[in-house]
Structure 1
Amino acid sequence: MYSPTGPTRRRRFGKGPLITLVVVLLMLAGGGVYVVAGDADRSGTARPVARETGSAVPSGSPAAGGSPGPVRTSPMPTSILPVPTDPPSTAELDAARKPREAHGWVAGDSADLPSRDVLTGPVWSVGDTIVQVLYRDVVARRVSDGAVAWRVSLPAPVCGAPVGMTPDGKVVVAHRNPAVGEEEKCDQIQMLDLKSGQKGWVKKLTTTSKLDRPKTAGLSISGVFLVLHQGATASVHQVSDGTELFDVPTDNPWSSTLAVGERGCHPTASAAGSTKMLVISSCPGADGAQFGQIMEIDPRARKVLWRYRVGDGQLIAKVYSTDPVVFTTTTSVSSSFSNWRIVALDRAGKVRSTIDPEKQGIPPCLGLSDLGGTAAQVCRGALATQDTLFLTSETGLSAFGLADGKPRWKSDVGSDRQLRPLRAEGGTLLAYLGPSKKEAGRIVRVGPKKAMTTVLRHPSLARETEYGMQGGDVALVGRRLIISPYWVNGDDRRHDTRLLSFTP
């Protein structure tokens, strides 16, 4: 879930990524946060750059890599923050580059934004362009130099966008109602062709249940199909023309003792990759306790392939990967994140293994406030391959076997740098080592027996800009690292960077 109205600005510099409950509630009140978790099975030339999971291109897919994540610190009102210095230009970066430092480009923008923090939306990789959502604009930039290739402006701010796209580069985004007095409703969906920058069909959503939340819209794409949920209902559509195919079942096979009208499992989130479509629901139990359910939907056959339920009082929070299916459970998604676990399922929806990271001192989603959001694919700090799960904490990275859930190895990096998985390669991991107050960031290789080795050093001149963007997304597109900020401020005195990129 992506909301154009961000939470209170956080400090640009700080050690820990842990967030207080107050910030969680603020973000939830703002309509949710769009971040991405991912899947391991994306393929094709049009590739989604996922926040926290994906394929070799999106940071975080099992087959290619895992999921990098942001580092957000405690809140600080924008009004008391100093106006940052202007970021260096691409020409200045190139002129000041030292031997063995990366080449880089910096992308700014003169688009008119509200004079406040505005959350960035997802970033997709399509052919030779990177496409970014920001407020009411969808902008494509050339991967090679960051120059604008095309721009699409929508009638109102974007309020929902999927992690992935169709194999031919099409997405569906939700934006707010532009009518006066209706601005809070997230009830317009628009298809976009990310290759050409052309708009496609557009629809207005209608409320079908008292539990529907017209202020939010969750969207996930698997292949050529879209699953859309509005809080209490979910439906599957064709991306090509918007045709609604069927409603996601809300039956509750786990609680036959309840009256028919009390049994419904209401969809709360969805997650999708190129081969799988998952829907998460909250179900009432016989004793009044809620429990979570996750199911795989076959959009072509229009049926549920399997369902998995967690214990009474437990809910499903975030999906680390859709292939293999790896997700977190917790006793509460919106307040306390204690007693959380990780569950890996096989292709039949049966438990493959469970992991208890809490015993290892690893916080869920890097301890970030996104954990309480309504989107499932928003968790940072995890990457799943078919047999290994990599999790990052404040001090390092841990690898767990998905076959048995047992720890495999651990690598410490210190408490002042954030390590974020990018891609798994032959038993080792490519990761982004975030900048410190004294050093620029790096791409490093981490393995079970070898010390962490540097693959690419980022330019020293970009350190301050890079440090201020640590709350955003990081992904590899080929050999190029793309960094997107978590928010951009519309104050005319500021010149916040939209994208930052480095390559050998």
Structure 2
Amino acid sequence: MSYTPPSWYPPGQPPARGPRSRRDRGLTALAVGLALLVVAVAGAGWYGYGAERARPATARETAAPPSGTPSAPPGLRTSEPVPAPGTRELAAARRPGEAAAWIASDSTDLPRRSIPVDGPWIVGDTVVQALYREVTAYRLSDGAEVWNLTLPTPVCEAPENPTPDGRIVLVLATSGSQRGARCDRFQMIDLRTGRTGWKKELLRDPARDTPAVIVHTAISGDTLAVAEGLGATAFRVSDGARLFTVPTENPGRCHPDRVAGGSRLLVSATCALGVDRGKSHSQLRELDPRTGAVRWRHRTPAGRKIERVASVDPVVYTSIDNDRLTEDWRIVALGPRGEVRRTIDPRPKGFEHCAHAGIDADLQPCPGVVVGQGLVHVGGTDRVGAYDLATGKLLWGVQAHDGRTLTPVGSRSASGTVVYESATPSRPGRTFVLGSGGAGEEEVLMRHPQAAAEAEYSTMAGRVLHVGGRILAMPTVVSGDDARRQPRLVSFAPARG
């Protein structure tokens, strides 16, 4: 792969490309798996990708938890960690200089449709994901399954962040049916152990007969915020108690619609509903997660709406035009009181909104946009760049000439951006660092193994995280077609020795 410095950007003329939305790519991924080229490895009785995993015969006996702690449901499996299929074969096939890898495959019997993957959540030395009716924790070091929890009904929605002590609240459907199922059941889970805590139905407005179908949730501290319909309510994660209701505000009748969490609790609202789209706008509020008190308010210009939050500290979000949608998008950074600090237009350089993640979904995350070290890094189908939040200027931009997706995943220092380069069906990806000058200042951190290339490619780089020097790549959706199985997660770490 070669790179071109910022001059490659023809202003207003991003290079033509075919339809490659991340969602579409996830739904149309080929039936690819772990094609380990290790047939010559003597005595290798290996699990092929997607093969049925051996299950422990009995769950480990556990003592009754103290009063007030989550209980262990019948669907929780907490035996000794189950090794990730193919781990030994991947190690045997690894070539000199390649990264170490493990792959979490999935043997869940899924409906024949596209199933969203929720998470991941990093808790201690594990990474946790939710898929359909299962929540699974994998050990970061080697991918071994630490625990697995079977849920009574499918997952509808999950927050981006757990509480600081590793608890989360999932929203479950009332039934397993694809049609007509409401999303109105809360289930608290301790992600450290897989044990479940309180559960309750989402409280609906008795004046309305419409069931909760689309729900948005976020966690900040010990507070769970839930937006449903044109209202939002906050609950305490530890016991499920109702804390406060987020009010509709006038003038403009700003109806709460989505929430974002983490170190801050943000609530977005749509204002001036029912009027001309050119006059409606969005509002963003920061709330005290304990009391619901408003710390500041921010509103967009008329005709624009808040679409995704890329960071809550500092607050950085994307806005789109009400009519032109992502054809007219911006990155907006706010100051400590909700004032506009900087507005950036990434379109002349060919960057795409949140890596084609779609619109009108959850407020978090915004894939392909990473904020840190005073910069906002933007990725895309074949390019990555960095803007200075203080000035709004593009500092550098590089392009991959073979069509690979470049995803910024973090900052190693004030002058180093960690970038993930996606795999192709036959070539593995890699992880590298770009310095403040962009092109010409590249340092390769990991060359991903050839033996895992097909499995890596099948994730379509839907979500990519950089955790403790390790890369975690996963799909945002998986296919329920048994002939098109995809891995849940592919992990890469620098090889030792």
TM-score (norm 1): 0.79
Corresponding residue for residue 367 of structure 2 = 380
Given the alignment, which residue of 469, 472, 475 partners 1:485? 475
- Which residue is 2:342 aligned to? 353
Partner of 1:184: 181
Distance 2:179 2:386 in 1: 48
- Within 1, Cα distance between the matches of 2:372 and 2:334? 13
Contact residue 106 and residue 499 of structure 1 kept, 8 A: yes
Larger radius of gyration: 2
Displacement, 1:198?
0.5
After superposition, residues 333-372 of structure 1 pair within 5 angstroms as 336-366=325-355, 368=356, 370-372=357-359
Pairing partner for 1:268 from 233, 238, 257: 257
Q: CA–CA distance in 1 between the matches of 2:342 and 2:179?
A: 46
Alignment partner for residue 198 of structure 2, among 196, 201, 205? 201
- CA deviation vs aligned residue, 1:62-109 (integer Å, no higher than 9, x gap): xxxxxxxx5854975x8xx6x435554222211111001011112223
> What is the DSSP-based 3-state SS (H/G/I as helix, E as strand, rest coil) of the residue aligned with 2:328?
coil
State the match for 1:435 in structure 2: 423
Give secondary structure in 1 for the equivalent of 2:354.
helix
Give the partner amino acid of 1:325.
Answer: V
State the one-letter code of the partner of 1:425. Answer: R
Which SS does the other structure have where 1:423 is aligned? strand
Following the alignment from structure 1 to structure 2, what is the Cα–Cα distance between the partners of residues 163 and 374? 13
Q: Which runs of 5+ in 1 are unaligned?
A: 1-14, 21-69, 256-262
CA contact (8 A) 1:395 1:413 kept: yes
2:313 counterpart of 1:323? yes
2:400 maps to 1:413: yes
- Farther-moved stretch of structure 1 (281-290 vs 462-471): 281-290
Preserved contact between residue 371 and residue 378 of structure 1 (Cα < 8 Å): no
The amino acid of 2:215's aligned partner reads A
Q: Any conservation in 2 of the 1:216–1:230 contact (CA below 8 Å)?
A: yes
The residue that corresponds to 1:40 in the other structure is none
Indicate the SS of the match to 2:248: coil
1:72/1:440 Cα in 2 relative to 1: closer, same or farther (>3 Å)? farther
Match of 2:129 in 1: 132
Count of residues in correspondence between the two structures: 424
* Amino acid aligned to 1:114: P
Question: What's 1:49 paired with?
Answer: none
Does residue 1:143 correspond to 2:140, yes or no? yes
Q: TM-score, normalised by structure 2?
A: 0.80
Give distance in 2, aligned partners of 1:218 and 1:374. 8
Paired AA for residue 178 in structure 1? S
CA contact (8 A) 2:27 2:478 kept: no
Partner in structure 1 of residue 32 of structure 2: 84
One-letter amino acid of the counterpart of residue 128, structure 1: D
Provide closer, same or farther for how the CA distance between residues 425 and 72 of structure 1 changes in structure 2, counting only shifts above 3 A: farther
Letter paired with 1:474: V
Secondary structure in structure 1 of the residue aligned to 2:455: helix
Structure 2 CA distance for aligned equivalents of residues 453 and 283 of structure 1: 47
Q: Which moved more, 1:109-118 or 1:415-424?
A: 109-118
Task: Find 1:308's aligned residue among 294, 298, 303.
Answer: 298
For residues 501 and 17 of structure 1, do their structure 2 counterparts lie closer, same or farther at Cα, with a shift above 3 Å needed? farther
Aligned AA (2:421): L
Given that residues 33 and 458 in structure 2 are in contact (C-alpha distance below 8 angstroms), is that contact kept between their aligned partners in structure 1? no
Distance in 2 between the 1:145 and 1:360 partners? 39
Q: How much does 1:302 deviate?
A: 2.5
**How many angstroms apart in 1 are the aligned matches of 2:138 and 2:103?**
11
How much has 1:331 moved relative to structure 2? 1.4
Match of 2:228 among 227, 230, 242: 230
Q: 1:394 to 1:84 in 2, by over 3 A?
A: closer
Deviant stretches of 4+, over 4 Å: 15-20, 179-183, 209-213, 285-288
Residue 226 of structure 1 aligns to a residue in which SS?
Answer: strand
Q: Which amino acid aligns with 1:220?
A: A
Deviation at 1:295? 0.7
- The question of whether the paired residues in 2 share the 8 Å contact of 1:399 and 1:407 is answered with yes
Cα deviation for residue 329 of structure 1 reads 1.1
Aligned pair in 2 of structure 1 residues 251, 71: CA closer, same or farther (>3 Å)? Answer: closer
Distance 2:178 2:454 in 1: 41
Name the aligned partner's letter for residue 271 of structure 2: C
Equivalent residue in structure 1 for 2:284, among 288, 294, 317: 294
